[in-house]
Amino acid sequence: MDEDIVRWVLEFLLRQPIDDSVINALLSVLPIANNDSRLKKTLLLRRIDTEVSDASVSEKIMELLEIVEELDHRDGKSASELMKAAYCAVAVDCTVRFLEDSVETSGKYLEAVKRIWRKKLSKMEKLEKNGGGLVSENLLRWRDDIEAAITDSIVRDKILMSNTRNEALKAVRAYLKESWESMGPSFLEYVVQTMSKMENKELGTGGEAMGDQLGKGVEKGVSACHKFVVSHNTAVDEGGRGEY
């Protein structure tokens, strides 16, 4: 199958409410170009969306955001404030969930502090010197509080009163909304919209415009891809080989 067609169809499908197993199956059998940053970003955003779809927050989201930021940086784009806010909110929730009344003996909290706020943030600060990274003033403020909570019960109680899970979900969803909007429609959707506008201007509202015909063509293409996946199910491991 032509690489351009594969890219267009995948980009379109990744934005649709299609079961992840179908996407995984497609990725396991279709060739994907390694130099397509837009498709890679679409895949990553889809994965982030999947992570928060069941109202869960994990360090995996931080890793995905880091990869997206790296892709954007290579394309000459700086991380937005919403992206930095999402990264910070997830980092906070992934740490605070282990916060207990007596953190001095809480291994999980101290491990999270070392893993996220010392190791990861140290790397981010180095990236910031080169014009990249996801460091924000709010992230640095939270680092101070997270560290202080180890020995300061007042700071600890203040943090425990925060609904960090809800804030993280809101921040990530706000970032996703911004990202999808900034990327614009998929190529296939753009073509359909453009052709429909052109036909409407030339033909008015009467008859079936070329854009409508193309739209039906896209639907047929998607259906064909689904059949293609079904016919190749034997090539996909039950454990999810090719998981995006």
Q: What is the pLDDT of residue 58?
A: 97
Instruction: Considering only residues 169 and 38, tell me which one the structure prediction assigns the higher pLDDT.
Output: 169
Please give, one letter per residue, the 3-state secondary structure of the chain. Answer: CCHHHHHHHHHHHHCCCCCHHHHHHHHHHCCCCCCCHHHHHHHHHHHHHHHHCCCCCCHHHHHHHHHHHHHHHHCCCCCCHHHHHHHHHHHHHHHHCCCCCCHHHCHHHHHHHHHHHHHHHHHHHHHHCCCCCCCCHHHHHHHHHHHHCCCCHHHHHHHHCCCHHHHHHHHHHHHHHHHHHHHCCCHHHHHHHHHHHHHHHHHCCCCCCHHHHHHHHHHHHHHHHHHHHHHCHHHCCCCCCCCC
Instruction: Considering only residues 101 and 68, tell me which one the structure prediction assigns the higher pLDDT.
Output: 68
Q: What is the pLDDT of residue 130?
A: 84
Instruction: Considering only residues 58 and 128, tell me which one the structure prediction assigns the higher pLDDT.
Output: 58
pTM: 0.80
| Statement: residue 227 has pLDDT above 50 | yes
Q: What is the pLDDT of residue 17?
A: 86
Task: Kindly report the average pLDDT of the chain as a whole number.
Answer: 83
Q: What is the pLDDT of residue 19?
A: 87
